[in-house]
């Protein structure tokens, strides 16, 4: 299908894009990679009257790995993450894993990380990873830029803390310490399909082998990505034994509240969420040299 008619504005700068959004109000939408928005417009699920294209703004297209944070600008492509020089570092293994399974390789050439977070699809990959990695968003509003934790950013399906006339400028992932590894586990019927279930896991260990911090989140398990706080609490301060890993999986299965569809029943998807969390924890720990 062809989208409903709209007006197209190419923003020249971030200031220009923001001014356009302020002027145009709720009917305007930002066009970044467009890999979710354009299909939604084609199905007439979205009918913005104006698109503000930010792809030409060079200073939004960056990925910066600095001492305290890894920051991705609003038009940083998934494919740029995949090819980033630091992507093989163990501390970024969660981001490494997800960068290879978002949509398909061609969609990743256009798709953006920040756009995916703003879209906040219940089956999103980046939203789930951002929860486990405790990311934060930089949002520009009338009173300047503010920082929003991912937990406060994801409000409901397709709804975020970005309000009318505002725009998300970047996502920041805190740099984890050296004894950190992660894992993204996703089951999909075919490449590019929505996940049947997926789990993001990130674990930081103390020198004595106990867990300093755990991040565990699920995709396709509720109205938007779900943090499994119970599993995180179970692991924190403990030596991650096989029993604890199983218990964390059980907590994830309990926290999962999926919808049954052709990809699987509710019971199947809940069970799968638990399996993927346990599997992800074992793989993250293996990356830290701990076999369970």
Partner 1 sequence: MKVSIKVNGVQFEKDVEPRTLLAYFLREDCGLTGTHVGCDTSSCGCCVVVVDGDQAVKSCTMFAAQADGHEILTVEGLAQGGALHPLQQAFWDQHGLQCGYCTPGMLMTSYALLKHKPDPSESEIREELAGNLCRCTGYNNIIKAVRQAADTLQSAPAAK
Residue pointed to by tokens 């096989």:
242
d(CA 11, CA 134) in angstroms, rounded, equals 31
104 makes contact with partner 1 (CB under 8 A): yes
SS3 27: helix
Indicate the residue among 97 and 232 with the shorter CB distance to partner 1.
Answer: 97
Nearest to 222 by CA among 122, 128, 117, 127: 122
Nearest to 270 by CA among 164, 199, 209, 208: 199
- φ, ψ at 55 (rounded to 5°): -65, -25
Q: Which of residues 14-43 bind partner 1 (CB under 8 A)?
A: 31, 34-35, 38-39, 41-43
Burial of residue 58, with CB atoms counted within 10 A of its CB: 0-12 exposed, 13-18 middle, 19 or more buried: exposed
Indicate the residue among 41 and 94 with the shorter CB distance to partner 1.
Answer: 41
Interface region with partner 1, contact rule CB under 8 A, candidates 16-24, 102-110, 229-237, 256-264: 102-110
User: Whole-number minimum distance, CB 183 to partner 1, in Å?
Assistant: 18
CB 93 within 8 A of CB 284: yes
Q: Which of residues 176-215 bind partner 1 (CB under 8 A)?
A: 191-192
Q: Which of residues 131-170 bind partner 1 (CB under 8 A)?
A: none
Indicate the residue among 4 and 242 with the shorter CB distance to partner 1.
Answer: 4
52 makes contact with partner 1 (CB under 8 A): no
Give the residues lining the site for partner 1 (CB under 8 A).
Answer: 1-8, 10, 31, 34-35, 38-39, 41-43, 51, 53, 55, 83, 100, 103-107, 109-110, 191-192
């Amino acid at each position: 299908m062809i989208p409903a008619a709209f007006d197209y504005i190419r923003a020249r700068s971030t200031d220009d894009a923001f001014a356009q959004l302020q002027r145009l109000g709720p009917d305007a939408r930002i066009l970044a990679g467009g890999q979710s928005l354009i299909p939604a417009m084609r199905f007439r699920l979205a009918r913005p009257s104006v698109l503000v294209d930010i792809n030409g703004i060079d200073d939004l297209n960056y990925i910066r790995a600095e001492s305290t944070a890894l920051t991705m600008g609003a038009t940083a492509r998934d494919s740029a993450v995949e090819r980033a020089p630091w992507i093989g570092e163990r501390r970024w293994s969660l981001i490494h894993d997800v960068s290879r399974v978002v949509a398909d390789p061609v969609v990743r050439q256009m798709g953006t990380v920040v756009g995916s977070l703003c879209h906040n699809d219940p089956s999103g990959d980046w939203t789930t990873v951002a929860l486990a990695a405790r990311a934060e968003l930089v949002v520009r509003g009338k009173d300047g830029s503010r920082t929003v934790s991912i937990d406060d950013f994801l409000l409901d399906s397709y709804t975020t803390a970005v309000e009318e006339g505002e725009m998300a400028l970047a996502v920041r992932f805190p740099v984890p310490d050296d004894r950190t590894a992660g894992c993204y586990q996703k089951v999909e019927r075919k490449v590019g399909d929505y996940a049947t279930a997926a789990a993001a896991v990130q674990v930081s260990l103390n020198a004595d082998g106990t867990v300093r911090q755990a991040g565990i989140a699920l995709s396709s398990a509720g109205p938007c990505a779900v943090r499994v706080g119970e599993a995180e609490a179970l692991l924190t301060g403990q030596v991650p034994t096989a029993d604890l890993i199983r218990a964390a999986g059980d907590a994830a299965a309990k926290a999962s509240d999926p919808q049954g569809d052709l990809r699987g029943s509710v019971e199947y998807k809940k069970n799968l969420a638990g399996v993927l969390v346990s599997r992800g924890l074992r793989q993250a720990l293996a990356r830290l040299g701990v076999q369970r």
